[in-house]
Amino acid sequence: MTLTLTPNLQNPDDFYAALLRAHDGLSEEETHALNARLVLILANHIGDLTTLEAALAAARGTSVKKADATTQ
């Protein structure tokens, strides 16, 4: 599985609004916990370690050291 880094959401503003609503009323600790759970849920959905490592590297702004991790 390759990691898509080009815009891919049909309605990015709607997703962003939903993400903000999910955090509405939460404390800083609760919002960090929500983010952690969301990351783990999405990682489980993706299920491919190479893709997840590429996503982690992209989020950090670094390159993936494994040659088999590709991005689009």
> Angle 28-46/49-60 helices, nearest 10 degrees?
140
| pLDDT tens-digit map of 27-40 | 999 999 999 999 99
Q: What is the DSSP letter of 67?
A: T
Per DSSP, the residues of 7-36 read ---SSHHHHHHHHHHHHTT--HHHHHHHHH
Instruction: For residue range 9-30, list pLDDT tens digits in order.
Output: 999 999 999 999 999 999 999 9
Structure tokens at 71: 């991005």
User: Three-state DSSP class for 46?
Assistant: helix
Question: Is residue 2 over pLDDT 80?
Answer: yes
